[in-house]
Amino acid sequence: MRASGRITAKIRNAVAEKVGPGVTTGELNDYAAELMKANGAESAFLGYRGFPGHICVSVNEAVVHGIPGKKRIKLEDIVSIDIGVKYNGFIGDTATTVMVGVTDPEVIKLVKATGVALKTAIDISVSGNRLSDISHAIEAVAVKAGFKVVREYVGHGIGRKMHEEPQIPNFGLPGHGPRLKEGMTLAIEPMINMGCSEVEVHTDGWTVLTLDRKYSAHFEHTIAVRSGVAEILTL
């Protein structure tokens, strides 16, 4: 898991650096595919339930699962890069949202709050706490900042498969669900909307859009639960 996580993080960082005005989402996908091959890894997304891309690239009102293609990135966009890599039978899963010359203070606040929500959730992901403590931490940060969490899509357990039990919603009361135990590996991924929490799936069958078409941000790390501080495998 550490090995796959390191590769996934390296590719995420490299692809994020390529994000800029004039670049297409398809070009980002192709670059990620090259990096995966160079690192002896493969995409955990390509072909998953029929998904056609090596990575997900979701722009502005697209929450997650954006299909890479001809869409050209422009100034004031926010671009979520979600990367899943399989290496030696284990999965790493990570995401970041890149701001492209954004000047709108509310959009900047949204992206920063989503990053804080992830950090806060990881800080509480220690042995002995409950699963819903993670969910509550994410929602609390979002609500305090004046935003809404996506309810239909969740974080998840991860290991030899990309989606394993347990599911980790981004909302809920603390103190519920199974206790976190040493060695559990989880993909924690807050998805936070500027407007309403409701979403819908685009006619492409994959891209998840905010119902009101306001911006959404997405961050994700794969972590290992520890008795002290959680270990971030995709740092």
Average pLDDT over residues 180-184: 97
The per-residue pLDDT for range 60-110, each reduced to its tens digit, is 999 999 999 999 999 999 999 999 999 999 999 999 999 999 999 999 999
The CATH number for 109's domain is: 3.90.230.10
Enumerate the β-bridge partners of residue 93: 84
pTM of the model: 0.97
pLDDT of residue 160: 98
How many domains does the chain divide into? 1
Beta strands 221-224 and 185-188, pairing class = antiparallel
What pLDDT does residue 11 have? 98
pLDDT tier, 232 (very low <50, low <70, confident <90, very high otherwise): very high
Q: Which domain holds residue 83?
A: 2-232
Please provide the average confidence, as pLDDT, over all residues in the chain.
98
